[in-house]
Structure 1
C-alpha cells in the first residue's frame, strides 16, 4: 500500500478508485465462450434519449470486483447493443470505447451511426457499447466531488510560479484523501486498465463470441492495446484511434498534452488570422498566438468574470479538439481581449456550476479517471519533482506546459498499483490498425508512433494530415475513413504505414 503523502466540471475529460492489501497479480486467462448469457431489454431512460432515434437494447454482465478473487464480490457492467443490420453478412461483435477513462459509452453505437458510420460496418457487426467498471449505469463509484470542489478537472491548472504548484499540491492531496474517505465499499483500487480489459473478455464470453473486434478512441486506445496484448488469441480486428502511446496514462503521457497544444494551436491561429476583421485576434498566426499569451497573462494578474488564466487555457485546450469549435473559441478570446465582464461571467457559469453542496455532474467521470490513472502506474510523490517539471515545460511548451506538468492527486493516491502496467505484446496476430491525426491537442502524433513501434509488425499506422481529436467517422478525412472501413469489413490491412493527405 502506498502511504499517503504529506505534502466542477471537466471541460476536456479524456479529449475522461478501501484501504487494505493490494490484490495479487492476475493471469490473463481468457473466459470461454458458449451460449449467450445476457438478457437484452430496455436501456436506461437517459441512454434512450441520447441514442434517439436509434433504438438500442441493454443488458447487465456480472464480473468479479477483483480478479484475484473471482468467486468474491461481483459488480455489474451495463452494455448496449445495436444488432447487425444484415444477419447474412454478420461477422461478430465490435466493442466500442469513447475514452476517458470515465467516459460513458452506452449511447456510442447510436452516436457513431448519427455521425455517419458506414452501413457496410453496421451490416456486419453488432455494435457493443458499455459503461466500463465504475462508470455510470455500471456499479458506479464516487469521490463525492461537488460543484464547488477545488478539484474540478482531470488536467491540473496552469501554475504561473512555484507557489502555485505548492497550492495545487494541497488541493491534489485533499482530493486523494476525499476519494479514500468516500471509498466505503473498497472498490476504487480495483479500477485499472488491466481489470477493465479482463472485463472486456468476460463480456465477449457472455455474448457467446469466440473473438471480438474493437474500436477505441483516446484512452480507449490504451484499453484496446491492453486487451490485444493480454488476449491476443481472442482479438479479431482492432482499430485504435487517437493513441496515447501505451496501455496506461502516466506523467509523461499527460505532459504530452502540452506538446499537442503547441502543434494544434497554429491551425486555429491560421483560421483566426483569416477572420481578423470579424474577431480582431491578429492578422497573422503569430499575432494570434501573441493574443493568446496576452489574454492569459492579463487574466493571471486580474481574473475577469470568474475566468482566470488557468481556466482560459483549459477552455482553449478543450476547444482545439474539433475545428467546428473554432468560431466559439474565437468569440471567447474576443470577449476576453475586450474585457467584456458580462460575457466572461456567462462563459464561467457555462463551464462550472456553482450550486453549493450538489455533486458535480463530472463527479463519477473524474473519480474513474483518477482511480484508473493512479492505480495503473506509480506517480512521483515529491512535490519538488513537479515544481521542476513545471519550470521545464513552461519554457519548453509555453502555451500549456505549466498545466500538464503540474501535480495531480496521483502523487498522494492511497493505493499502490496492484500489478505492473500491461506490456504491449508484439507477438500476436497482425490485426491492429492505428489512426492518428498529425495535430491533436490531447493525443499528439507521437502517441501513434510510440504504439506503432511497440506493436511492431502487429500494427500499421495511418497518419492523417489533419487537426483534431478523433479520426474514424469523427473526422472528415476520406482516405482514413475508407482505409479503416475496408479493414473492418474486408480484412484489408494496409501493407505498410499509410499517409492520408488532407481532403
Structure 2
C-alpha cells in the first residue's frame, strides 16, 4: 500500500505542545556522519555520485542515553552552490517504503531546482538499511484450496495475520524495538539528520503516507520546517483502518470510470459494451472465485487476491488498458481456457511468489500497528468486527468493500502497544499540498480535512484519477504541468500560491 508529508515555518501554541517530548527527555546530540560509497545495489545512488552514511540515534528519544539504532542516509551535494537553498528530504509512502534513493529520483522533474539543494535520502527506522526489523520465516504456504467461501477466505486472513504478529514478536529482541516504530519517532530521526548536517531547517517532499509523515514533522518541529510539499494526504482525525474503509466508495467510482472506458473498447477486450455490462463481468469473476479460485500459471487466485489486483490497477487512469487486459486474462482462465498471464498480471504473480513478499508486508505492518492513531493505528482487536464490516459493505461496495473492510494488517494480534498517543494536527506552518480529485487510495475529502488543519497551507487540485500528483511524467504517466510548476516554483524560492489552485485536466478529457 501506498499506501506513501510536508510543511514549513510559522508557529502556533498547538504546534509547540504537540512537539513536546516527555519532560524526562534530554536534548539529543546526534552522532557525526562519516560519508562513504553507497551500497552497490543502490544503483540510482551510485550513478548519481551519491555518498552514504549511518546516523546513530536513540531507540527511545525519552531515554537519549539508552539503546541506539542506526539510520541509513544518502546525500547528493548541491551542484549550484552559489544558489544553495539547504537540504531536501523525502519519503515515498507506504508505510513501509524505503527511501534512501527517493530524493534523487525527483531530479528529473525538479530540474535546476534540484541543483540548489543537498538531496538527502533516508530509510525510515527499522526498514532497509536502518536497523531493519525482521520476523521469523513464514511457514511454507499451504496449497490453495480448489473450493472456498467468503468465510473461509476471511479465516485464512485471520490465521495469516495471527501468524505474522507472532513471528514478528518472537524474533530476536523485536519486542524491545517494535514499540518505537512510530511516525513520531521517524520525524524525530528526520530532525536528527537535519541537526547532524548542521542545518537550521529542512525542506521536504512526501507522497501518500510520506505526506502524513511530513505533517507530523511540522507539527512537532514547526521552527525547523522550511519548504514543505505534501502530495496525496489523509484526514488527520481518522485512523489507518478508518482510512482504508473510506476508500471503498471512491474505489467503486474508479471502477465505474474504468468500466465505461473499457466498454468504449469492447471490440478489443470483449468484457461488455456498456459500463454496467463490464461491471457485471467483474462481479461474476469475483463471485465465482469466492467458490472456486481462478487457476493460472500454476497458481490459484481467490477473490481476496483478485480484489487486491483490481485495486492496484484502478488507482491510475493510465492503467485502464492494463486492467482490462488483466480482467480479460482472468475471465478466460476462470472459464478453463488455456491462457498465459498478460505482462502486468505476470509481474504481480512473480512478486507474490518471490521471497521478498513477506519482508514487504512486514515493513508496512511495523508502522500500521506501531502508531496509536493517524497516520496509522486504530485497528479493532476483535476479528469478528472485520467480518461484520465486510458483510455490511457488500451492499453498495460489492467489489472493494470486502477488501478495505477486512483484516488488511495483523494489528489485531500485535504483541506490543504504542508508546505515545497519536499526533494532533493544527498549526499555521506554510505548506504546499497536492491532491488528485479522483484519488481512490486516499480520497480527496481527507486532503481537504488536513488542509483545514494546516491553516497556512495552499492546495493544488488535479482533476485526474491518480494516487500522487507531482512528477507523474518521471513515472511514465501523463504529467500535470500546473502542479509540477507549483512545486518547482515553491521549492525554488517562490511564494506559496495566493489562493488554492485547480489545474486543468492534463491531455484533455478521457
- Contact kept, 8 Å, 1:304 with 1:341, in 2: the verdict is no
Of 266, 282, 288, the residue aligned with 1:276 is: 266
For 1:422, the equivalent position in structure 2 comes to 423
CA distance in 2, matches of 1:77, 1:136: 9
The Cα of 1:479 is off from its aligned counterpart by: 1.2
The Cα of 1:276 is off from its aligned counterpart by: 1.7
- Contact kept, 8 Å, 1:140 with 1:364, in 2: the verdict is no
Bigger RCO (CA 8 Å, 6+ sep): 1
For 2:194, the equivalent position in structure 1 comes to 204
For 2:158, the equivalent position in structure 1 comes to 169
CA distance in 2, matches of 1:255, 1:145: 30
Of 349, 352, 357, the residue aligned with 1:351 is: 349
For 1:118, the equivalent position in structure 2 comes to 110
The Cα of 1:354 is off from its aligned counterpart by: 7.7
For 2:39, the equivalent position in structure 1 comes to 44
CA distance in 1, matches of 2:194, 2:155: 46
For 1:144, the equivalent position in structure 2 comes to 136
Of 204, 213, 220, the residue aligned with 1:214 is: 204
CA distance in 1, matches of 2:80, 2:347: 47
For 2:302, the equivalent position in structure 1 comes to 308
- Contact kept, 8 Å, 2:25 with 2:62, in 1: the verdict is no
- Contact kept, 8 Å, 2:38 with 2:46, in 1: the verdict is no
For 2:78, the equivalent position in structure 1 comes to 84
Partner-residue secondary structure (3-state), 2:259: helix
CA distance in 1, matches of 2:291, 2:328: 18
Change (3 A) 1:444 1:27: farther
- Contact kept, 8 Å, 2:136 with 2:170, in 1: the verdict is no
> Which 10-residue stretch deviates more, 363-372 or 219-228?
363-372
- Contact kept, 8 Å, 1:238 with 1:433, in 2: the verdict is yes
CA distance in 1, matches of 2:177, 2:452: 35
The Cα of 1:238 is off from its aligned counterpart by: 1.0
For 1:400, the equivalent position in structure 2 comes to 400
For 2:49, the equivalent position in structure 1 comes to 55
Alignment pair present for 1:487 and 2:490 = yes
- Contact kept, 8 Å, 2:89 with 2:103, in 1: the verdict is no
Change (3 A) 1:174 1:489: same
- Contact kept, 8 Å, 2:26 with 2:62, in 1: the verdict is no
The Cα of 1:62 is off from its aligned counterpart by: 0.8
For 1:299, the equivalent position in structure 2 comes to 289
- Contact kept, 8 Å, 1:193 with 1:247, in 2: the verdict is no
For 1:438, the equivalent position in structure 2 comes to 437
CA distance in 1, matches of 2:26, 2:393: 42
- Contact kept, 8 Å, 1:100 with 1:218, in 2: the verdict is yes
- Contact kept, 8 Å, 1:82 with 1:128, in 2: the verdict is yes
Change (3 A) 1:122 1:318: same
The Cα of 1:352 is off from its aligned counterpart by: 5.0
CA distance in 2, matches of 1:193, 1:341: 47
Residue by residue, what CA displacement relative to the aligned partner does 1:191-233 show, whole Å, maximum 9, x if unpaired? Answer: 1111111101001101110000110011101111100100001
Residue by residue, what CA displacement relative to the aligned partner does 1:439-489 show, whole Å, maximum 9, x if unpaired? Answer: 12321212211211222x221221110111111112611111111222111
Residue by residue, what CA displacement relative to the aligned partner does 1:352-374 show, whole Å, maximum 9, x if unpaired? Answer: 5687xxx8313333223112111
CA distance in 1, matches of 2:382, 2:463: 39
The Cα of 1:255 is off from its aligned counterpart by: 1.3
Residue by residue, what CA displacement relative to the aligned partner does 1:11-39 show, whole Å, maximum 9, x if unpaired? Answer: x4527xxxxxxxx97469896899x9322
CA distance in 2, matches of 1:245, 1:164: 30
The Cα of 1:119 is off from its aligned counterpart by: 1.8
Change (3 A) 1:249 1:364: farther
Partner-residue secondary structure (3-state), 2:251: helix
Partner-residue secondary structure (3-state), 2:262: helix
- Contact kept, 8 Å, 1:223 with 1:247, in 2: the verdict is no
Change (3 A) 1:341 1:141: farther
CA distance in 2, matches of 1:462, 1:125: 23
How many pairs does the alignment contain? 466
Partner-residue secondary structure (3-state), 1:301: coil
For 1:410, the equivalent position in structure 2 comes to 411
CA RMSD of aligned residues (A): 2.8
Change (3 A) 1:26 1:142: farther
For 2:390, the equivalent position in structure 1 comes to 390
> Which 10-residue stretch deviates more, 24-33 or 224-233?
24-33
Structure 2 length-normalised TM: 0.84
Structure 1 length-normalised TM: 0.85
CA distance in 1, matches of 2:258, 2:402: 21
The Cα of 1:414 is off from its aligned counterpart by: 1.3
> Which 10-residue stretch deviates more, 25-34 or 332-341?
25-34
- Contact kept, 8 Å, 1:335 with 1:344, in 2: the verdict is yes
CA distance in 2, matches of 1:363, 1:62: 27
- Contact kept, 8 Å, 1:437 with 1:470, in 2: the verdict is yes
CA distance in 1, matches of 2:199, 2:422: 27
